[in-house]
């Protein structure tokens, strides 16, 4: 049951923000980034979350995650 509540918490956080990075979500939920990535991958597969690439001046691009219309309804 804990897994489902983590996904619900991620969806709730994304509902309140215009878009969050893995780092922001991990920090807010006090979880490892890898754990958050795994949940986001499942939520993307279920078409509840979408990722948009955010380019930064240096380093690797990051992704901002936000809810899909379907995700907004859950």
Is the pLDDT reported for residue 2 higher than 60? no
Residues sharing a CB contact under 8 Å with residue 13, sequence separation 6 or more, in sequence order: 20, 25, 28, 29
- Over residues 1-29, the mean pLDDT reads 88
Q: What is the pTM of this model?
A: 0.86
Phi–psi pair at 29, nearest 5 degrees:
-95, -5
- The share of the chain scoring above pLDDT 70, in percent, equals 95
Is pLDDT above 80 for 27?
yes
């Amino acid at each position: 049951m804990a897994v489902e509540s983590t996904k619900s918490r991620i969806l709730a956080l994304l509902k309140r923000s215009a878009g969050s990075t893995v780092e922001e979500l991990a920090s807010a939920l006090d979880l490892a980034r890898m754990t958050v990535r795994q949940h986001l991958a499942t939520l993307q597969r279920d078409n509840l979350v979408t990722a948009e690439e955010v380019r930064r001046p240096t380093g690797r691009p990051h992704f901002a995650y936000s809810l899909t219309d379907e995700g907004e309804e859950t």
